[in-house]
C-alpha cells in the first residue's frame, strides 16, 4: 500500500490569486491581450542602482552569508526604519527569504500546533497556506466594505480572544483591501494586546504606499517592545518580487533569538540580492514619492471607472495597490471565469481575482473582486472599459 501524505499536506490550500491560471493560459492562446489585474506584480522597473550591482558582481564564489543576513544589509535596514521613527537596531532585524518566510518563522515562533491567531478578514490569502503548514488556526473578524474595511470594532476582536490566542495579525496598509489603519486603530490594537498578553504582528510591506496622511507602524512609539513584530519585504517597494528579500523586525529578544535559530537551520537568504539591496536603499524618500504619485494616479483612474458602474461599490482605498470592489453579481468565480472564457472586446479581456478567496468565513466576498492596479494609466483605462462591458454582458446573459 502506498504511503499517504499528511492531513496538513492534504489540506494545504491553493492560492486564490493563481486558481484561474490554467484558464488564463488557455485564453492567452486565443486573445490578443489579457490585462492581468489579479496579482501584485508591479510593472515599475527595478531601480537601475540594484541591477548595476548585480551586473558588476566581483565575487568569484557565491558563498553562504550569515543566517540572519549580511550585517551591512541589516544596518542599512535599521537606518531605513529609523528614518520612519521606528527605533530599532540592526540586531533587532533578521533578513528572510521574502516576506513569506518571515511570516512562517513568526507563526512558528509564537504558536504551537492548535494555537490561534486573530486576523481581520478579508486578508492576504497566503496567510491561510502559512497557517496550515504551521498548524495554526486563523480566527477571522470581518471588516465591512461600507467603511472601506476599517478595523472591526475592538470589542468584536476581543470576543475572539481565548486561552489559545497568541497574536493578532494585520496587514497595513492592507492587501487586498487597500485600507491604511489610523493611529487610533493601531493604539486600540496595542491596548488589546497589552491587556491579553498577545503579540501584534504587522505586515508592513506597503508602508510607502499610503496616499493621504502618514503610515502608522506598530513600532513607532515606545512601550510596545515586548509585543510588536513587523514582517516586511522589498518586493513591492523596489519592484523586486523575484529577488526574495524580506525581514522580521522586533525588539522582543526571545522572538529574534528563536527566529535566528530557524534562520540558521535554512542557512542563509540569497547573497548577491542583499549586496544589491544595500545600494537601492540609498535612493531615499524621493524615490518612494515618485512611485506613490504614480500609484495614486492609477488608483484614481480605476476609481473613476468604478463610479460609473451601476451597482458597483468601493470606498476609495488609501493604501497599497489593491482594491476590493463589490459588483452586482452573485458569484465572483463564475464572473472571473466568464471574463476569461466567454468575453472579449476587440479580442482583449481582463483577469481579476475572485473576492471570496480573501475571506475565511464561507460565503463572504462572493460579490467582490480584487483589482491590483499595477498597470499604467492607459492600460488601466482600457482594462476597466473591458471590465465594464464584460459585466454588462455577463449580467444580461445571467439575467441579473
Find the shortest distance in angstroms from Cβ 96 to a second copy: 10
Shortest separation between residue 316's beta carbon and a second copy, angstroms: 27
| Spacing of C-alpha 166 from chain mean position | 21
Beta-bridge partner residues of 117: 138, 167
Is 14 or 30 the residue whose CB approaches a second copy more closely?
A: 14
Shortest spacing between CB 351 and a second copy, in angstroms: 15
Q: In b/e form, how buried is each residue of 265-285, taking b as 16+ CB within 10 angstroms?
A: eeebbbbebbbbbbbbbebee
The full 3-state SS of 23-43, as one line of letters, equals HHHHHHHHCCEEEECCCCCCC
Separation CA 168–CA 166 (nearest Å): 7
* Residue recorded with cell 507602524: 217
Query: Between 60 and 396, whose beta carbon lies closer to a second copy?
Result: 60
The three-point CA angle 235-299-213 to 5° equals 80
Residue closer to a second copy (CB basis): 172 or 252: 252
- Least Å distance between CB 258 and a second copy? 4
Supply 161's cell numbers. 480572544
210/275 with CB nearer a second copy: 275
Q: Which is nearer to a second copy, 229 or 314 (CB)?
A: 229
CB of 117 to a second copy, least distance (A): 11
Identity of the residue, 31 or 164, whose beta carbon is nearer to a second copy in the bound complex: 164
Q: Which helix (H) or strand (E) holds 155?
A: helix 154-159
Give me the half-sphere count of Cα atoms (radius 13 Å) on the Cβ side of residue 364: 15
The distance of closest approach from Cβ of residue 310 to a second copy in the complex, given in angstroms and rounded to an integer, is 35
In this complex, which beta carbon is closest to a second copy, that of residue 30 or of residue 267? 267
What would the grid cell of residue 22 be? 490554467
CB of 295 to a second copy, least distance (A): 15
Q: Which of 243, 333, 304, 250 is nearest to 16 (CA)?
A: 333
Amino acid at each position: 500500500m502506498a504511503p499517504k501524505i499528511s492531513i496538513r499536506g492534504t489540506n494545504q490550500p491553493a492560492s486564490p490569486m493563481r486558481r484561474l491560471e490554467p484558464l488564463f493560459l488557455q485564453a492567452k492562446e486565443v486573445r490578443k491581450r489579457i490585462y492581468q489585474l489579479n496579482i501584485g506584480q508591479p510593472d515599475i522597473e527595478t531601480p537601475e542602482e540594484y541591477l548595476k550591482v548585480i551586473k558588476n558582481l566581483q565575487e568569484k564564489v557565491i558563498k553562504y552569508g550569515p543566517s540572519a543576513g549580511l550585517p551591512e544589509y541589516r544596518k542599512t535596514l535599521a537606518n531605513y526604519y529609523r528614518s520612519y521613527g521606528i527605533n530599532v537596531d540592526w540586531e533587532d532585524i533578521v533578513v528572510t527569504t521574502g516576506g513569506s518566510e518571515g511570516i512562517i518563522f513568526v507563526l512558528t515562533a509564537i504558536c504551537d500546533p492548535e494555537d490561534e491567531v486573530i486576523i481581520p478578514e478579508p486578508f492576504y490569502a497566503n496567510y491561510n497556506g502559512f497557517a496550515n503548514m504551521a498548524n495554526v488556526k486563523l480566527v477571522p473578524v470581518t471588516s465591512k466594505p461600507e467603511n472601506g474595511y476599517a478595523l472591526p470594532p475592538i470589542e468584536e476582536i476581543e470576543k475572539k480572544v481565548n486561552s489559545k490566542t497568541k497574536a493578532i495579525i494585520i496587514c497595513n496598509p492592507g492587501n487586498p483591501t487597500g485600507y491604511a489603519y489610523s493611529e487610533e486603530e493601531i493604539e486600540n490594537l496595542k491596548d488589546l494586546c497589552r491587556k491579553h498578553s498577545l503579540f501584534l504582528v504587522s505586515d508592513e510591506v506597503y508602508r510607502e504606499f499610503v496616499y493621504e496622511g502618514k503610515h502608522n507602524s506598530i513600532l513607532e512609539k515606545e512601550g510596545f517592545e515586548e509585543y510588536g513584530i513587523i514582517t516586511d519585504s522589498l518586493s513591492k517597494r523596489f519592484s523586486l518580487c523575484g529577488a526574495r528579500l524580506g525581514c522580521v523586525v522586533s525588539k522582543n529578544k526571545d522572538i529574534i533569538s528563536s527566529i535566528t535559530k530557524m534562520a540558521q537551520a535554512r542557512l542563509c537568504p540569497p547573497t548577491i540580492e542583499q549586496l544589491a539591496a544595500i545600494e537601492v536603499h540609498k535612493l531615499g524618500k524621493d524615490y518612494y514619492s515618485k512611485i506613490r504619485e504614480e500609484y495614486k494616479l492609477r488608483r484614481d483612474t480605476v476609481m473613476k471607472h468604478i463610479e460609473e458602474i451601476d451597482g458597483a461599490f468601493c470606498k476609495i482605498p488609501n493604501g497599497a495597490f489593491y482594491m476590493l470592489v463589490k459588483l452586482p453579481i452573485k458569484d465572483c468565480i463564475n464572473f472571473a471565469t466568464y471574463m476569461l472564457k466567454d468575453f472579449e472586446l476587440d479580442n482583449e479581456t481582463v483577469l481579476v481575482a475572485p473576492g471570496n478567496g480573501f475571506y475565511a468565513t464561507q460565503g463572504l466576498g462572493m460579490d467582490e473582486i480584487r483589482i491590483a492596479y499595477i498597470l499604467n494609466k492607459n492600460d488601466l483605462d482600457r482594462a476597466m472599459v473591458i471590465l465594464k462591458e464584460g459585466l454588462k454582458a455577463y449580467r444580461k446573459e445571467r439575467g441579473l
